[in-house]
């Protein structure tokens, strides 16, 4: 079974530039998550999709971050314009549709390391 795919793996941009990340979840997984992980910290949820609908975007800085999952499969996360403090690893995760017997385990991709200069 293929895992969660993310691209690019690394990105270096200057502040005020725009950047986009792509994620392809595990086939058949209904839920997709984007996390921001700053060096030395645990991941912080940015946005959660259930199919193509947003379930939780309470911690997404909506003035500069946006995300979409138009067809309920792959997803893009955009930052426009980027700030120095956006330097982090952006992790994508997916999970199957929750059921009473499942732990709703999340499977993570390798992440995209963003450096903003």
Judged by the rule CB under 8 A, the positions of this chain that interact with other proteins are 4, 31, 40-45, 48, 50, 55-56, 91, 93, 98, 103-111, 113
Quick one: 48 or 75, whose CB is closer to other proteins? 48
Quick one: 31 or 75, whose CB is closer to other proteins? 31
CB 92 within 8 A of CB 43: no
Number of other residues whose CB lies within 10 A of the CB of residue 43: 19
Task: Single out the residue of 83, 69, 64, 1 nearest to residue 34, CA to CA.
Answer: 69
CB 94 within 8 A of CB 5: no
Quick one: 33 or 65, whose CB is closer to other proteins? 33
Least distance from C-beta 91 to other proteins, angstroms? 5
Q: Is 112 helix (H, G, I), strand (E, B) or coil?
A: strand
Least distance from C-beta 90 to other proteins, angstroms? 11
């Amino acid at each position: 079974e293929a895992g969660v795919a993310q691209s690019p793996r690394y990105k270096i941009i200057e502040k005020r530039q725009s950047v986009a990340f792509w994620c392809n979840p595990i086939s058949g997984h209904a839920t997709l998550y984007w996390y921001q992980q700053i060096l030395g910290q645990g991941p912080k949820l940015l946005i959660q999709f259930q199919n193509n609908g947003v379930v939780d975007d309470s911690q997404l800085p909506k003035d500069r971050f946006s995300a979409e999952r138009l067809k309920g499969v792959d997803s893009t996360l955009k930052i426009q314009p980027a700030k120095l403090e956006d330097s982090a690893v952006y992790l994508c995760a997916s999970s199957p549709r929750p059921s009473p017997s499942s732990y709703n385990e999340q499977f993570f991709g390798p992440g995209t390391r963003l450096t903003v200069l």
